[in-house]
Amino acid sequence: MKNAYTMGTTLNNGVHLPWLGLGVYKMPKAEAAKAVRTALQNGYRAIDTASFYGNEEGVGEGIQSSGIPRDEIVLTTKIWNTDQGYDQTLHAFDESRKRLGLQYIDLYLVHWPIKATFRETWRALVHLYRLGFVRAIGVSNFQIEDLEAVIQDTGVVPVINQVEHHPLLNNQALHFYANVHNIRIVAWSPLLRGQYTGLPTLYKLAQKYQRTVPQIILRWDLQNGVVVIPKTTHKERMIENAQIFDFTLEPKDMQVIDNLNQDRHFGSVLDSDGRTLVRIP
Ligand SMILES: NC(=O)c1ccc[n+]([C@@H]2O[C@H](COP(=O)([O-])OP(=O)(O)OC[C@H]3O[C@@H](n4cnc5c(N)ncnc54)[C@H](OP(=O)(O)O)[C@@H]3O)[C@@H](O)[C@H]2O)c1
């Protein structure tokens, strides 16, 4: 039977992705191992990491020590900017797989669209997918023109585009394009990295629905068809962030949250050469 942790969406290649996963950015290896184990033992079935996070070994250890069967888990990792290019990607993929200690990866993403290399990188991901080393392939931080380029090159539509997405940055045009092309949006930094305290509108809604602000935000995502991967090291917060399937925001309140958009980033923004345009600690 499906529950809060296994309810999900069917991606455009038929793979199931839970609506809720655990993000592990900025967790050192040992912390990631503990958080992943805790999350899996408390019901989570999707984990989001990246080679850039430097904690793939920890994530692998958390998966192994959780006792949860491998085929119940959807593990996402990503190829970092400096590893991109066709051959480099195949090599980097293998290194990630070894660090994670896994035979296959569920979802492999191009972390950023680096102008000089992302098209070749995508071809390499298609190759890995066709060989069966990954169950699904997708992208992250892609704009519409980047998505169009890889689709045009290969005819393979990314299953997801993982982007910074929250009430102050709701990516409406990108989301519309993604819906038309059956690309699922996954929200990174869905909780604005915890910096939602200056948003009284969200507190009023939290009071109205008798929920916490994170639950209001994550529920808004869910009702918009957006997958969420909030990061926390705390078991109570992992559970709190999952309690979003038993209430519904009224359409007028969805609109109120939509109206908070300011196109404002809380995460770093890179240019097409991988240089940091905006660095946010
Ligand atoms: N593709 C990309 O380029 C990209 C970029 C950034 C992030 N990501 C992915 O997206 C994931 C999530 O994004 P993020 O880590 O940047 O930020 P986030 O999930 O928006 O926020 C994480 C922060 O919120 C706190 N938090 C979590 N649940 C809470 C709750 N219920 N109540 C109060 N505070 C809570 C956490 O603190 P505690 O840990 O102390 O609980 C942490 O400080 C990452 O971990 C990573 O997997 C991807």
160-164/134-140 β-pairing: parallel
* CB 6 less than 6 A from any atom of ligand 1: no
Looking at the domain assignment, is residue 2 inside a domain? Answer: no
Nearest CA to 21 among 196, 160, 167, 157?
160
Distance 132 CA to ligand 1 centre (A): 30
Q: Is 243 in the pocket of ligand 1 (CB under 6 A)?
A: no
Domain annotation covers residue 81 = yes
Ligand 1 binding pocket includes 192 (Cβ within 6 Å)? yes
Position 280 scores a pLDDT of 57
Domain count, the chain: 1
44 is catalytic: no
Expressed in angstroms and rounded, the spacing between residue 229 Cα and the centre of ligand 1 is 7
Q: Determine how β-strand 16-18 pairs with β-strand 184-188.
A: unpaired
Tell the residue nearest (CA) to atom 6 of ligand 1.
188
If you take atom 8 of ligand 1, which residue's CA is the nearest one? 188
Output the CA 163–ligand 1 centroid distance in Å. 13
Residue-wise pLDDT for 185-231, tens only, equals 999 999 999 999 999 999 999 999 999 999 999 999 999 999 999 99
pLDDT at 213: 98
- Cβ atoms of 216 and 206 within 8 Å: the answer is yes
- Report if residue 248 sits inside a domain: yes
| CA-wise closest residue to 125 among 134, 113, 116, 114 | 134
Q: Is the CB of 38 under 6 A from ligand 1?
A: no
Domain that holds residue 116: 8-278
Q: What is the pLDDT of residue 268?
A: 83
* 112 Cα nearest atom in ligand 1: 3
pLDDT of residue 279: 59
User: Does this model's pTM top 0.85?
Assistant: yes
C-alpha gyration radius of the chain? 18
**Average pLDDT along the chain, 281 residues, taken 10 residues at a time:** 90 98 98 98 98 98 98 98 97 98 98 96 98 98 97 98 98 97 98 96 98 98 98 98 97 98 90 74 50
- The atom of ligand 1 lying closest to the CA of 214 is 31
What CATH code is carried by the domain that includes residue 64? 3.20.20.100
Q: What separation, in Å, do the N-terminal and C-terminal C-alpha atoms of the chain show?
A: 41
**Does residue 249 fall inside a structural domain?**
yes
Residue 1 to residues 40, 52, 227, Cα–Cα distance (Å): 17, 35, 20
In a domain, 207, yes or no: yes
Tell me whether residue 3 is in a domain. no
Core vs surface per residue 12-50: b (16+ CB within 10 A) or e? beebbbbbbbbbbbebebeebbbbbbbbbeebbbbbbbb
Task: Tell the residue nearest (CA) to atom 24 of ligand 1.
Answer: 194
